[in-house]
Structure 1
Amino acid sequence: MCHLDPAKCIFVVCLGLSIMVCSLIYLSADVPTELKPKQECRPFAPQCKPFLLGYNSGLRWHRHNCQVEQYITNYTLDCPKLITDLSFITVPLSKEEEDYPLAFILTIHKELELFIRLLRAIYMPQNVYCIHVDAKAPLEYKAVIYKLASCFDNVFVVRRTEVVTYAGYSRLQADLNCMEELVQSKIRWKKVLNLCGQDFPIMTNLELVRYMQSKEWKDKNMTPGIKQPAKFSSRTRMQHIEMVGNYVRRSGKTKDPPPHRIQVYFGTAYYALTREFVNFVLTSRVARELLMWSRDTYSPDEHFWVTLNHIKEAPGSYLTGGWGGSIRAIKWSDQEGTTHNGCKGHYVRDICVYGTEDLPWIFQSTAMFANKFESGMFPEALDCLEMWHRIKVLKQATVSIDPTWLLAIPHSNSTEM
């Protein structure tokens, strides 16, 4: 019985009920201090059978900890647990790799799960990784990337970011922003490679190191390309205007010739560059003038690197390089029937998004990376490639294998793949 006046009694009762309701809501909420029940992982596709050891003798492989995106977005940050649970490799796997650290530039704007799995595949503690997140990416996406990067001493998000436009100068500037910070890294990396979020490695880190130090590429930059063909001359002959974040359009005005009458080359936007060449790009007058001239060209990253690499005074220049250098395994639609047997997934902007039936072609490739993949389309293809790559990585290791580095666990008494 309430001994207060009626108004006060009502207030006390309401306050008590409010406290009870809030307590129930709090107790029933998903407080992210413990992991939620693990979700089932997709079984491996049949295309994985040839390299899953023991499969034909009854051994079955089960993927685990495959919900990488949900792991980072749903739970509180516990970096040691994250690194272990997501199977990141934590020590150099050979002296050869430890003595030849690499730098990676990763430009991303979507496909969070793909990016996490890409980073896990290429991550080694002796390397260094610069991430450029498109300035127009959602805040939630950026927050997760910062959260993930904070767990590693050798992974960072570049301070200066660009609103990246397809085929615009902003894409080139994003790489340069990372280079400016990478040259200041305490890790004395030997070469830098650039990736996008829909790439995935074919070579292991050890194979990359050996390829970078091979007779053909030791102390050389890898920028596949040729003298600019006439059909692409309008890219640099005509002025283009970048509509920030949307598209690039031609203005109708003719540009001045390139500075110093430099011969313009055309090639891939992807590369492997020596540290000395990166310093040349950031400090030389010729490189700065070519960069300024390139600001209003179409897709300048497809001529800037390869053109500079054909300047004699550039460190590591490769004057007769041509299309040499196995950078990417890509199925272009116009090369169907010549360099490949068709896309078994589907084409986007004339590039194949791989399906599982494309895997044998990828496995036989001599390229460093494959492009491209999508998490929403044919996800089993990446599952299979990821497992194939990790098995190869661990087979080449000269150190004891930590069980947490395994992406799947074999079981002999299972009826599932």
Structure 2
Amino acid sequence: MMVYKEPEQLERLLRAVYRPHNAYCVHADLKTKPDVLQQIRAIIKCLPNVIESPRQIDVKWGKFSVLEPELICMQALWRMRSKWKYLINLTGQEFPLKTNKELVKILTAYKGANDILGERPKERNKWRWQKAKSPPPHNITVAKGPVHVAASRGFVDFLLHYSYARDFLAWTKRTAIPDETFFATLNNMHQFGVPGSYTGNITSKRRIMLNRFKIWDTSNRTCSGKFLRNICHFGLAEVADLSRSRHFVANKFSYDFYPLAYDCTEQWYFDRVRREEKTGVADIDTRYYSNLELVKHAYRGSAGNGP
């Protein structure tokens, strides 16, 4: 979980997603105000399987510092005793749209596939990689996609411990906006034996990502909250769409200026949790998820079986 403000949102997010058998890592930006950091650390100390990131990074947009905290937390989570099967990297301004039981059923239907979007970069984006002044190692073809992922344990193992991933990471450090390159490219490197990676047509319009619900200002969709840095911070009108969505997590909420949207989404979520507790059943049909392109075309061979 990447946070830098609003400790109340972190507390409420943890209340929604926390389970004793899972593992959680929280990274607070180095720029976080001391009083806010104190509150964040107090929340972390309440729960035995929630850890603080071993290092704080001064996160700056477009720099490696956006990706670095993700990798630090991945390493810390890998060392924990919990043998988690999937990793979802959250931020403090998000909220789940699927209960823990629903997510377990969905990710079981994924059968090790990664929910990570990666597309061929447009011409206007290629300046990012030209800054490296050398081509990617191992003739790797670069892809572009969001930093937000739902990644299998095997994928995390590969990116932390295999030389292809380490070499590519070293190259991305010399590029611009590496957080939109590293995960997206790795997930299209099935020929290198990346667990759960995508083996299908990278340009397929049927390929979608469901780990996040976002509204961009380029999407021709309205935002009853407000667009900030090109993305919608949800207002009340979006809550109905969120409640019907097949996505895992909503991004993003700003409690300081649209608290009702957050409150209503939280109420809807816990109503679902209470129904589950009453019936003992997660009311979700996973056939839709089983038939996704990312599931049908996932690499499930030997890890690291590269060229």
- TM-score tier by shorter-chain length is 0.7 to 0.9
Match for 1:327: what amino acid?
Answer: N
1:179 alignment partner in structure 2: 74
Question: For the Cα contact (< 8 Å) 1:161–1:174, is it kept in 2?
Answer: yes
Deviation at 1:319, TM superposition (A): 2.2
For the residues of structure 2 that align with 1:398 and 1:284, how far apart are their CA atoms?
A: 45
2:124 alignment partner in structure 1: 231
Deviation at 1:118, TM superposition (A): 1.1
Match for 1:389: what amino acid?
Answer: Y
Match for 1:234: what amino acid?
Answer: W
Deviation at 1:363, TM superposition (A): 1.5
- 1:120 is aligned to 2:15: yes
For the residues of structure 2 that align with 1:177 and 1:144, how far apart are their CA atoms?
A: 21
Secondary structure of the residue aligned to 1:329 is coil
Secondary structure of the residue aligned to 1:165 is coil
Deviations 1:149-187 (A, max 9, x none): 111111110112211112211111101101111111111
Within-5 A mapping of 1:175-324: 175-214=70-109, 217-239=110-132, 255-312=133-190, 313-320=193-200, 322=202, 323-324=207-208
Match for 2:145: what amino acid?
Answer: G
- 1:335 is aligned to 2:219: yes
For the residues of structure 2 that align with 1:225 and 1:394, how far apart are their CA atoms?
A: 36
Structure 1 moving runs of 4+ over 6 Å: none
Deviation at 1:328, TM superposition (A): 1.2
Within-5 A mapping of 1:115-154: 115-154=10-49
Deviation at 1:394, TM superposition (A): 1.8
For the residues of structure 2 that align with 1:321 and 1:177, how far apart are their CA atoms?
A: 31
For the residues of structure 2 that align with 1:146 and 1:120, how far apart are their CA atoms?
A: 15
Deviation at 1:324, TM superposition (A): 2.5
Deviation at 1:305, TM superposition (A): 0.6
Q: TM-score, normalised by structure 1?
A: 0.63
For the residues of structure 2 that align with 1:360 and 1:259, how far apart are their CA atoms?
A: 46
1:363 alignment partner in structure 2: 243
Range that drifts further, 305-314 or 384-393: 305-314
For the residues of structure 1 that align with 2:69 and 2:255, how far apart are their CA atoms?
A: 24
Question: For the Cα contact (< 8 Å) 1:167–1:299, is it kept in 2?
Answer: yes
Question: For the Cα contact (< 8 Å) 2:118–2:188, is it kept in 1?
Answer: no
Deviation at 1:134, TM superposition (A): 0.8
Distance 1:206 1:321, change over 3 A: farther
Pick the aligned partner of 1:380 from 241, 252, 260: 260
Deviation at 1:398, TM superposition (A): 6.2
Pick the aligned partner of 1:166 from 61, 84, 92: 61
**Between structures 1 and 2, the one with greater strand share:** 1
Deviation at 1:283, TM superposition (A): 1.2
For the residues of structure 1 that align with 2:274 and 2:62, how far apart are their CA atoms?
A: 38
Question: For the Cα contact (< 8 Å) 1:225–1:321, is it kept in 2?
Answer: no
Deviation at 1:399, TM superposition (A): 8.1
Match for 1:163: what amino acid?
Answer: D
For the residues of structure 2 that align with 1:191 and 1:321, how far apart are their CA atoms?
A: 24
Secondary structure of the residue aligned to 2:27 is strand
Deviation at 1:225, TM superposition (A): 1.8
Secondary structure of the residue aligned to 1:333 is coil
For the residues of structure 2 that align with 1:384 and 1:180, how far apart are their CA atoms?
A: 35
> Any unmatched runs of 5+ in structure 1?
1-105, 240-254, 401-417
Match for 1:350: what amino acid?
Answer: N
Match for 2:118: what amino acid?
Answer: G
2:228 alignment partner in structure 1: 348
Distance 1:228 1:345, change over 3 A: same
For the residues of structure 2 that align with 1:114 and 1:148, how far apart are their CA atoms?
A: 11
Pick the aligned partner of 1:397 from 274, 277, 297: 277
Secondary structure of the residue aligned to 1:192 is strand
Match for 1:117: what amino acid?
Answer: R
For the residues of structure 2 that align with 1:374 and 1:174, how far apart are their CA atoms?
A: 22
For the residues of structure 2 that align with 1:199 and 1:135, how far apart are their CA atoms?
A: 20
Equivalent pairs, count: 274
Question: What's the C-alpha RMSD, in Å, of the aligned pairs?
Answer: 1.6
Q: TM-score, normalised by structure 2?
A: 0.85
Q: Percent identity?
A: 35
Deviation at 1:381, TM superposition (A): 0.7
